Amino acid sequence: KILLDIHDLHASIDGKEILKGINLTVREGEVHAIMGPNGSGKSTLSMVLAGAPGYSVTEGTVDFHGKELLELSPEDRSHEGLFLSFQYPVEIPGVSMVNFMRAAVNEKRKYFNEAPLSASDFLKLMRQKRAIVELDNKLASRSVNEGFSGGEKKRNEIFQMAVLEPRLSILDETDSGLDIDALRIVAGGVNKLKTDRNATIVITHYQRLLDYIKPDFVHVLYKGRIVRTGGPELALELEEKGYDWIKQGENIQD
């Protein structure tokens, strides 16, 4: 069953076209990797899907399980089951993770006309999800991301993902890269939370992460277009040959 269907998506920043006609179909149960050289538009794609301000969509449609994603507010996209890692990168002093997550869970329930969770049901949910991502109780009681290490922030993010149970998670791992610890946390969480009803898009410059998260499809984004699609072997080929191979093979106009 198709979960996300991106059709001829064009988007600009400050009048400059960055995405030049993206087509991508993601079905339930699938893991897609999007790779590509720096500056190709990978992060722009995830920001546009999340509805971040400053990006204008000039053409195209994005069907998200039967709804036009681009017409929904960023909050409603999240309620409808879209999760973007780095969605909550901010530190929120004085607001514990637990209270933050309570608000997030109850906002979503409200969207679906459901009553807020009782305190005991919420704590039960927290315990259950904490166990999945091996997040200790101390971290959950601390203020959101305040003074968290890189690894703790990642664990926290995967915890949010576990609690919100998104239908589609987009993980944009910035090019700065994750240390091996953070990599294991992210991959372990993604693999544990994978079901045949949800899907994941992993955006990465490096093949490394794909040693831990096995993609069903690998796409290469270059100059705002998907120029290659293949299986996991495509990531290995890229690792071996580098992106110059793609650049030389493509006669792409700016």
Which residues of this protein are in contact with ligand ADP, per CB under 6 A?
13-14, 18, 36, 38-44
Stretch that binds Mg ion, among 27-35, 112-120, 169-177, 208-216 (CB under 5 A): 169-177
132 three-class SS: helix
Q: What angle do CA 23, 175, 214 make, to 5 degrees?
A: 60
Among 38, 120, 248, 251, binds Mg ion (CB under 5 A): 38
Total site size for Mg ion, rule CB under 5 A: 4
Which is nearer to ligand ADP, 101 or 203 (by Cβ)? 203
Task: Give 38 or 118: the residue with its C-beta nearer to ligand ADP.
Answer: 38
The single-letter DSSP state of residue 80 is T
Nearer residue to Mg ion within complex by CB, 35 or 193? 35
DSSP secondary structure string, 208-225?
A: GGGGTS--SEEEEEETTE
Tell me whether residue 44 or residue 85 sits nearer to ligand ADP (CB atom): 44
Select from Mg ion, ligand ADP, none the partner in contact with residue 102, using the beta carbon and a kind-dependent cut-off of 5 to 8 Å: none
CB atoms near residue 158 (< 10 Å): 26
Binds Mg ion by CB under 5 A, chosen from 2, 21, 25, 43:
43
36 binds, among Mg ion, ligand ADP, none (CB under 5 to 8 A by kind): ligand ADP
- Of 10 and 65, the one with the shorter C-beta distance to ligand ADP is 10
| Cβ 83 vs Cβ 168: under 8 Å | yes
Which residue, 132 or 227, is less far from Mg ion as judged by CB? Answer: 227
In whole angstroms, how close is the CB of 29 to Mg ion at the nearest point? Answer: 26
CB of 41 to ligand ADP, least distance (A): 4
Choices 34-42, 86-94, 100-108, 115-123; region in contact with Mg ion by CB under 5 A: 34-42
Angle CA 83–85–89, to nearest 5: 120
Least Å distance, CB 120 to Mg ion, is 41
Residue 154 corresponds to which amino acid?
K
- We find the least distance from the C-beta atom of residue 45 to ligand ADP, in angstroms, to be 7
The two structure tokens encoding residue 5: 């269907």
- Contact (CB, 8 A) for 222 and 253: no
Q: Measure the CA dihedral 203/205/208/213, to 10°.
A: 10
DSSP 118: P
Which lies closer to ligand ADP via its Cβ, residue 41 or residue 189? 41
* The two structure tokens encoding residue 113: 């006309």
Is the separation of the CB atoms in 129 and 159 below 8 Å? yes
Q: What angle, rounded to 10 degrees, do the helices at 119-133 and 180-193 form? A: 120
Smallest gap, in angstroms, from Cβ of residue 176 to Mg ion?
Answer: 9
In the complex, the residues that contact Mg ion under the rule CB under 5 A are 38, 42-43, 175
